[in-house]
């Protein structure tokens, strides 16, 4: 397996107490696979990305095993991790400006990315060859007028341009795993579609494995081979994208699907899942989704179901045994 996560648990300590925002999390990913992690705000998606890249804040306590390409990241020092982060994996943050240095020009940072790759792979490129590749890659991500953008500082670019610069950086580094945390939230809809198509292309042409973190189930479906639906820090359902959309196994997935607007004029009012996600300070006792579930029955409120295999999917729901 290319990425193996077993029994991952992450808690944050604060003056108000400790909250466990990821619990009993398992994920196996093959090289070249695209997995979307879907969930509402606060379900623990970004925490997962930060745990994989070992970028959790000091207040976080992590337990469980994460192996990327056979490397157990818990055993790696910060120096080793910063090397792994630029090579084996790369994370695009929710705010792409966080991935760039505000006091260095875009050109400097993209040239730095390609020289890191050169060093890693023992490539012997001249300055001119590197510059040409940077400019070509900027065209791939459809950044207009590369020469002008190379001289700019990140804050001088639009949100869409910053996001493309970060994706361009990922392309130049050629990591084996790209973790993209809501990379399209700050973008308008047409640009969103372009970025998603670009990621799809990268996955297909460069065999780059992608973890795509989003709250948008439709975007997840467009991009991913597999979708993992999270709720209150737990996996509720994990399955092939097509199966999960056509035949959802978990009532939460079903609710998310029913909440997507359709263009059917005869459709009734748009459904929304009643209630709101629980606070991590007072999680319900049994199934964490039970207070909002339309199929809830006795056991759901007292005992938390385990994630069990169900055909080629897995699901955490008493309805599925
Ligand atoms: N550094 C931190 N200290 C304490 N609590 C935190 C910290 N970072 C995140 N949390 C809490 O952990 C929970 C999960 O947050 P996380 O950002 O992983 O969720 P998310 O699904 O990515 O949400 P969003 O889509 O809004 O970013 C939230 O309740 C959040 O308030």
What residues flank ligand 1, with Cβ below 6 Å?
A: 12, 14, 21, 39, 41-47, 57, 59, 215, 280
pLDDT at 134: 96
Q: What spacing in Å lies between the alpha carbon of 60 and ligand 1's midpoint? A: 11
Question: Among the atoms of ligand 1, which is closest to the Cα of residue 46?
Answer: 22
Task: Tell me the domains of the chain and their CATH numbers.
Answer: 1-33+43-76+216-261+271-321 (3.40.50.300)
pLDDT in tens, 70-121: 999 988 999 899 888 878 899 988 887 888 999 999 999 999 999 988 988 8
φ and ψ at residue 221, rounded to 5 degrees: -65, -40
Q: Which residue has the least CA distance to atom 3 on ligand 1?
A: 12
Give nearest CA residue, ligand 1 atom 25: 41
Candidate from 11, 21, 215 with most ligand 1 atoms within 8 A of CB, to mutate: 21
Rounded CA separation 182/215 (Å): 8
* Ligand 1 atom 1: residue of nearest CA: 57
- Cα–Cα distance for residue pair 127/135, rounded to 1 Å: 12
pLDDT at res. 109: 96
76 CA distance to ligand 1 middle (Å)? 24
Q: Which of 9, 11, 12, 93 to mutate to test the pocket of ligand 1 (most atoms within 8 A of CB)?
A: 12
Please give the full DSSP string across 278-306, using - where no structure is assigned: PPTTS--SS-TTGGG-TT--GGGGTSPPP
pLDDT of residue 187: 67
Which residues are CB-contacts of 19 (< 8 A; sequence separation ≥ 6)? 11, 12, 280, 281
Task: Per-residue pLDDT tens, the chain, 321 aa: give them.
Answer: 899 999 999 999 988 899 999 999 999 999 999 999 999 988 999 999 999 999 999 999 999 999 999 999 988 999 899 888 878 899 988 887 888 999 999 999 999 999 988 988 888 899 999 999 999 989 878 888 999 999 999 999 988 889 889 989 988 988 899 999 987 776 667 777 777 887 888 888 888 899 999 999 998 999 999 999 999 999 999 999 999 999 999 999 999 999 988 877 777 788 899 999 999 999 999 999 999 999 999 999 999 999 999 999 999 999 997
Length in residues, the chain: 321
User: If you take atom 31 of ligand 1, which residue's CA is the nearest one?
Assistant: 42
Ligand 1 centre from 50 Cα, in Å? Answer: 11
Provide the pairing of β-strand 226-231 with 34-38.
Answer: parallel
Which residue CA neighbors atom 10 of ligand 1 most closely?
12
Q: Exposed, middle or buried: residue 224 (CB in 10 Å: 0-12, 13-18, 19+)?
A: buried
Question: What is the C-alpha to C-alpha distance for residues 48 and 31, in angstroms, rounded to an integer?
Answer: 19
Q: Whose CA is nearest to atom 16 of ligand 1?
A: 44
pLDDT the model gives residue 62: 95
Q: Using an 8 Å Cβ cutoff, are 220 and 214 in contact?
A: yes
CA distance 193 to 209: 19
* CA distance readout (Å), 147 to 34, 107, 116: 32, 9, 21
Q: Whose CA is nearest to atom 7 of ligand 1?
A: 12
d(CA 253, CA 69): 30
The Cα 107–Cα 151 span in angstroms is 6
Quick one: which of 133, 132, 143 has its CA closest to 167? Answer: 143
* Close Cβ partners of 63 (under 8 Å, ≥ 6 residues apart): 7, 8, 9, 10
Instruction: Tell me the per-residue pLDDT of 188-231, one tens digit each, with 9 for 90 and over.
Output: 677 777 778 878 888 888 888 999 999 999 989 999 999 999 99
Is pTM beyond 0.80 here? yes
């Amino acid at each position: 397996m290319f990425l193996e996560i077993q029994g991952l648990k992450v808690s944050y300590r604060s003056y108000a107490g400790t909250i466990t925002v990821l619990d009993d999390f398992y994920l196996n990913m093959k090289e070249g696979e695209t997995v979307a992690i879907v969930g509402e705000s606060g379900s623990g998606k970004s925490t997962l990305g930060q745990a994989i890249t070992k970028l959790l804040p000091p207040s976080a306590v992590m337990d469980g095993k994460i192996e990327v390409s056979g490397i157990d990241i818990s055993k790696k020092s910060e120096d080793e991790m910063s090397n792994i982060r630029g090579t084996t994996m790369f994370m695009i943050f929710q705010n792409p400006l966080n991935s760039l240095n505000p006091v260095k020009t875009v050109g400097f940072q993209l040239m730095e990315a390609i020289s890191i790759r050169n060093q890693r792979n023992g490539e012997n490129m001249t300055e001119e060859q590197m510059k040409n590749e940077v400019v070509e890659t900027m065209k791939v991500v459809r950044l207009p007028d590369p020469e002008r953008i190379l001289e700019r500082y990140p804050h001088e670019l639009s949100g869409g341009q910053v996001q493309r610069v970060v994706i361009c950086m990922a392309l130049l580094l050629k990591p084996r795993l790209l973790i993209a945390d809501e990379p399209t939230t700050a973008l308008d809809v047409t640009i969103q579609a372009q970025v998603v198509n670009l990621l799809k292309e990268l996955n297909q042409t460069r065999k780059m494995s992608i973890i795509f973190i989003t709250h948008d189930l439709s975007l997840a479906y467009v991009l991913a081979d597999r979708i993992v639906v999270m709720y209150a820090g737990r996996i509720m359902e994990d399955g092939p994208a097509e199966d999960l959309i056509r035949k959802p196994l978990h009532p939460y997935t079903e609710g998310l699907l029913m909440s997507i607007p359709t263009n059917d004029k005869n459709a009734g009012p748009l459904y929304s899942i009643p209630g709101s996600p629980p606070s991590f300070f007072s999680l319900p006792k049994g199934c964490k989704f039970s207070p909002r579930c339309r199929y809830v029955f006795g056991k759901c409120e007292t005992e938390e179901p385990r994630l069990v295999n169900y055909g080629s999917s897995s699901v955490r729901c008493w309805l599925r045994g």
